Amino acid sequence: MFELSRKLVALRENSLRELSLYDRTCPMTTKIKIKIISDTSDYLVIDKPINLTIHNENTKEVSVLSTLGGSLFPVHRLDKETSGTLVLAKNKLAAALLADQFQNHKVKKVYKALIRGALSPEKIQWKWPLTDKAEGRKNPQGLSKDRKPCLTEGKVLKANDYLSLIEIQIKTGRQHQIRKHAALAKHPIVGDPRYNDLVYNEKISQRFGIERMYLHSAFIEFEWNGKKMTYESPLPPEFKKLMS
């Protein structure tokens, strides 16, 4: 079971908060750095690293909430395997106001992903109906009786014979929507452990020296106190490494 060695460090904009994590069964210490993109009195925007859950869904996994500590409220989902912008409310009122915007699709979210193969045409519009739960690579859509309308839009930013870097927005909010739609388009996200081929993922990991799913939350925009608030997270260097 992981335990946290907490540092009581004041959060500040564009800062890094570093915490030491250790496993009782392992003498080695792993350090996790979380970049604070913005810290306001009502909410926090962080640049979430890969392999951190939002909640403590599994007691053996390290979560964002347990790592940052304090009274924080998640207002939207971001998969454990996905990196990038994540908003956390600091009080119940802010949580309710932000969650309402997310649930009613008033928030602009832009993702970037590396997918297998050269995607054509360059404009993306995926409309397969999906369930709102995790599925598998054999049937990403899930049972037909549980499917709901979905829309994913975007464009190809760069492509070669083997990979495409895409920019995408989800107009609906089904669980794993981007991952499922990419798989149904026959261009699954590189490194996706659920919807891509595991042998392929392993080959990519060994060749480039990093094991991750190549999906990144690059941009988020929502309204707060009558103003549009926009936050960005730069593309991780490993994306560029694969495309070079």
Positions annotated as catalytic residues are 79
Residue 92 CA to residue 229 CA, distance in Å, equals 20
What are the CA-CA distances from residue 163 to residues 62, 222, 235 (Å)? Answer: 31, 31, 16
| Two structure tokens written together for 100 | 């309402």
Contact 22, 9 (CB under 8 A): no
- Torsions phi, psi for 88 (to 5 deg): -130, 130
End-to-end Cα, the chain, rounded Å:
39
Closest CA to 2 of 15, 18, 20: 20
Residues 6+ apart with CB under 8 A from 177: 130, 150, 152, 170
Q: For tokens 């659920």, name the residue.
A: 194
Residues 49 and 33: beta-carbon distance below 8 Å: yes
